[in-house]
Amino acid sequence: MKSKGLKKVTRWVPEDRLTEVDEMLQFLLENKEAIPYMAKSLKTGRFMKMS
């Protein structure tokens, strides 16, 4: 996978967000031109910009 420009990393992820994190990572692998930019608040439903 290194030959594809990928790096293996270990991160702690909240159990109840694992599906969403996996989906985002898969999306990023398939869309190299995309970057994560915002996250949606489960409390308010509003999008929050990541800094």
Q: Which residue, 37, 38, 28, is CA-closest to 5?
A: 28
5 domain-assigned: no
> How is residue 51 annotated by DSSP?
-
The rounded distance, in Å, linking the Cα atoms of 4 and 20 is 23
3-class secondary-structure state, position 48: strand
Determine the Cα–Cα distance for residues 23 and 19; give it in Å rounded to an integer: 6
Domain count, the chain: 1
Q: What is the pTM of this model?
A: 0.75
Could you tell me the residue range of the domain that residue 43 belongs to?
16-51
For position 20, what pLDDT does the model report?
93
Q: Which two tokens stand for residue 24?
A: 């985002």
CA distance 43 to 33: 30
* Per-residue pLDDT in tens (0 to 9) along the chain, 51 residues: 889 889 999 999 999 999 999 999 999 999 999 998 999 998 999 999 987
Within a domain: residue 6? no
Q: Is residue 35 part of a domain?
A: yes
